[in-house]
Structure formats: C-alpha cells, structure tokens
Amino acid sequence: MAATRGGFRVVLIANQREEKDSGMKVAVTDSGFADLQVERDVLAGLDVEFTAAQCTTEEELIDQLSEMDYLISQYAPITARVIDKFDRCRVISRYGVGVDNIDLDAAAAAGIAVCNVPDYCIDEVADHALALLLDLTRRIFPAALDVRAGGWKFPAADVSEVKVLKELTVGLFGCGRIGNAVAKRLLAFGCRVLVYDPYADDDQLNSSGVQATGLEELLAESDVVSLHCPSNAETRGIVNAEMFGKMKPGSLLVNVSRGDIVVTEDLIQVIQSGHLAGAGLDVTSPEPLPAGHPLAALENVVITPHFAAASKKAIFELRRRTAGAIAAAIRGEKLANIVNGVDGPRQL
C-alpha cells in the first residue's frame, strides 16, 4: 500500500516489498509506536520515499529493506549478514542509547555511519532505577498484591526484609550519564554510594560525593548493586555466578541497562539459594520473557517490560532526534553522535 503524506511517498510493508522510483529511500525497520507521524514530520519536504516496516528477523530485513539508503531502527537485528546485503545504506539511526542490536564493526567496515541518541531519557531511567530499588527495599509490590487479594498483613515475614534507604550502601556498576543521575538521587536519600567504572575519572567521581572503588570492594560492601553499563563484548554475561558469589549475602540487584549483561540462569539460582534477597529488573534476557519463565515466577523479583525510558517528552525527543539524524544526512549536514568510528555517511 502506498500513499502520499507531507510531501513524500509512504510505503507500508505487508508481506511483499513495494518498490517505487523516487528520491532517497528511508525505512523504519521496526518500532513500537502507534504511528510514525513524528518521523514523517521531520522528513517532510525532503525528496524521500518512506517505508514503515516491522522486521524482526534477518530474513525480513534482507527481503523487505535491502535497497534502502537510510535506516531508522529500534530492535531489529542488523547483523553483519544483513549489512552485507544493504549495499546502498548510508546511515543507520537507532531509537535509543544502546546500539547492541547493530553490528557496529560490520557497519564501520561497510562505511555506514551508526548514530544513537545518547542523552534523551536520563531522568526517566534514573527515576525508574530508584523506583525498583524502593519497591524492593520497602516491599511495596508484594504488599499491594496482598491488599488486592483481600489481605491486610505485614508485607514481610521477617521485618529485616524492609530497609531504610539512608542506611544502605548502594554500588553502581557503571557511572555514565544515567549512573551519575542515579548517584545524585541516592545521595539525596542519604545513601553511601560506591561506584565502579574503569572509564571514569576517580577524582571527579569522589568530588561528586560518591566513592570510587574496585569491583571486588563494591560487590562485597553493597547492599544493592545497580547496573548502568552498556551491552557490548566486554560486558555481556559479566554478571554471572562468579560475580554473584562475591556479592554481599542478602543483597539486591537492580538492572535498568540491558538484559544480556546478566546471565539469567545464574540469577535465578542465586535468588533461589537465598544468597541474593531479590532483584528489580526493567530488562531481561531473553526479552520479552516467554510465558511461564522461571524468573517471572520468583516472588522477590520485580520485572517491568523495558519501559524505564518512557515519558511523553522523552519519547517525542527520541523520535524527533532519531529521524533528525537521517534528515541531516540527506541535507549533507555533519552528523552528531556517530558511535562506530566512521567520519560520516557512506560514500557511494
């Protein structure tokens, strides 16, 4: 199906690719938005053919979108195999901070610029991390469920399960923009905040009120460990049985970064054993969790469906800036936030 809106042709992908001769071809590989009006508004006035797809596999990407000049992507797997077939693609712009669904090395080797939006949801994710932490320490979720079921009892069998935040030591594994925002919130609650970030300046961290430390010390001393690092070859699976074994008995885990940083099977085992008292997760691996997954069955685990970044303002800015990178490239402007080391759009 094709229609003309805002001065350019929109092509909606169903089961077959619909090809039209026009200017540059721009595609949204996938998205969770009700419509793509924000993106269309950003690209209005440019000579582009706009394709809206919902590709979830390599095969769908290759079959439907391999002739695109520019891509906007959310979760679609843009792997080396996919990139090899996209011989016209100049720029990939991703909705979000993380770019772990894109093979950055393959894109760089092909000369394709990959852009992200690194600073659009800092407050939202920081607030969500605190919400999960407070839920775990105050036992809000199980108490609310009990009241809904008709009960009215103390939320924990052992009063020691209910914590006072200012009495806790919270360890931040990673302290970029979001980690720093979480640290400020924790300091306002009166927490002792430890930070492990091998890429941060320790003196600068210490001057902000937190305590820079080594990973071993952070794990051993923290009542709560909160993850704020990207998903990459260095961090995938780093939070595993070995790391859990070094965490303080009875401690808690919070993850609002990426699910594959944590080995899910190891997390389940360490909570079932009682070594960890619980976890608050906005991200999981796999994602979404299949129905009946054992992680979701654990009573002391709170899981939200990867929406920490959500707010009306944040989502609008995310969409505007993601599409804006494509518009800038088409206009020949210098691109901001290229994350894979290339100088600019691919030259064909």
CA–CA distances in Å: residue 284 to residues 32, 102, 218: 18, 18, 23
Q: How far is CA 135 from the centre of its chain?
A: 21
Residue 157 identity: A
Q: Which of 306, 319, 321, 346 is catalytic?
A: 306
Q: Where are the alpha helices (DSSP H) in 208-335?
A: 215-221, 241-246, 264-272, 294-297, 312-330
Q: Which of 40, 90, 258, 319 is catalytic?
A: 258
Active-site residue flag, 161: no
Active-site residue flag, 320: no
Show Cβ contacts of residue 271 under 8 Å, excluding neighbours closer than 6 positions.
277, 278, 279, 298, 300, 301
Q: Which of 18, 67, 287, 317 is catalytic?
A: 287
CA 213-197-228 angle, 5° bins:
120
Residue 264 identity: T
Q: How far is CA 195 from the centre of its chain?
A: 20
Contact between 195 and 171 (Cβ < 8 Å):
yes
Phi, psi (degrees; rounded to nearest 5) at 42:
-65, -40
Active-site residue flag, 242: no
Residue 23 identity: G
Calpha distance 41→205 (Å, rounded): 41
**Which residues are 280's β-sheet partners?**
254, 302
Phi, psi (degrees; rounded to nearest 5) at 83:
-60, -35
Rg (CA), the chain: 22
Calpha distance 13→18 (Å, rounded): 7
Q: Catalytic positions, please?
A: 258, 287, 306
